């Protein structure tokens, strides 16, 4: 059930990332056309593109994290025995999970303070929404870390039986 829920979250995030990337492309294209063809640039496009890019980076990071596609150095871990490798990997995943929990918690005051700050070129938007991307991504990556931790132990059971 847990994996099915995470698969659904993953599909939703991928869809949101496609929407964000498409809107980023549209906004930047709009700025180029407005600036160089019509000689009247929009003031909000640069900041809007930056905010979309921040969300895209954090949500995209969750997709990459679940696939274990982040850059990692596993030279020393691969030299260990299977049992030691499992223990070291588990410790690393537990530390990563604690880090994501910590990151999600420390963004709470940032989000609260960010709601008081308006985006200059888009006064209807506040910076709390930008900090929300960090918290949401941290929570999702924490769930993916827990899934990875279960997989480390589950794969070992399958290999030994």
Q: List, for residues 32-69, the tens digit of each pLDDT value.
A: 999 998 888 888 888 999 999 999 999 999 999 999 88
Banded model confidence at residue 157, pLDDT cuts 50, 70, 90: low
Residue (of 104, 72, 65, 102) closest to 88 by Cα position: 72
Banded model confidence at residue 134, pLDDT cuts 50, 70, 90: very high
Q: Which two tokens stand for residue 28?
A: 């930047």
More confident residue, 121 or 94: 94
Model pLDDT, residue 125: 86
Q: Which two tokens stand for residue 152?
A: 């480390």
Q: Which two tokens stand for residue 31?
A: 């700025």
CA distance 99 to 132: 17
Q: Which two tokens stand for residue 113?
A: 């303070």
CA distance 89 to 77: 8
The pTM score is 0.85
Q: Are strands 122-126 and 118-119 parallel, antiparallel or unpaired?
A: antiparallel
More confident residue, 160 or 4: 4
pLDDT of 155 strictly over 80: no
Residue (of 72, 77, 96, 75) closest to 87 by Cα position: 77
């Amino acid at each position: 059930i847990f994996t099915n829920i995470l698969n659904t979250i993953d599909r939703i995030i991928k869809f949101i990332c496609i929407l964000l990337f498409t809107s980023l492309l549209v906004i930047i294209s709009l700025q180029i056309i407005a600036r160089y063809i019509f000689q009247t640039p929009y003031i909000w496009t640069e900041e809007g593109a930056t905010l979309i890019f921040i969300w895209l980076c954090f949500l995209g990071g969750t997709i990459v994290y679940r696939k274990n596609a982040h850059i990692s150095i596993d030279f020393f871990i691969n030299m260990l025995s299977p049992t030691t490798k499992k223990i070291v990997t588990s410790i690393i995943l537990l530390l990563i999970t604690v880090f994501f929990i910590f990151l999600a918690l420390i963004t709470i005051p940032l989000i609260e303070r960010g709601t008081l700050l308006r985006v200059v070129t888009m006064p209807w938007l506040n910076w709390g929404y930008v900090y929300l991307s960090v918290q949401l991504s941290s929570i999702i990556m924490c769930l993916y870390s827990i899934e990875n931790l279960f997989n480390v132990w589950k794969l070992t059971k399958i290999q030994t039986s």
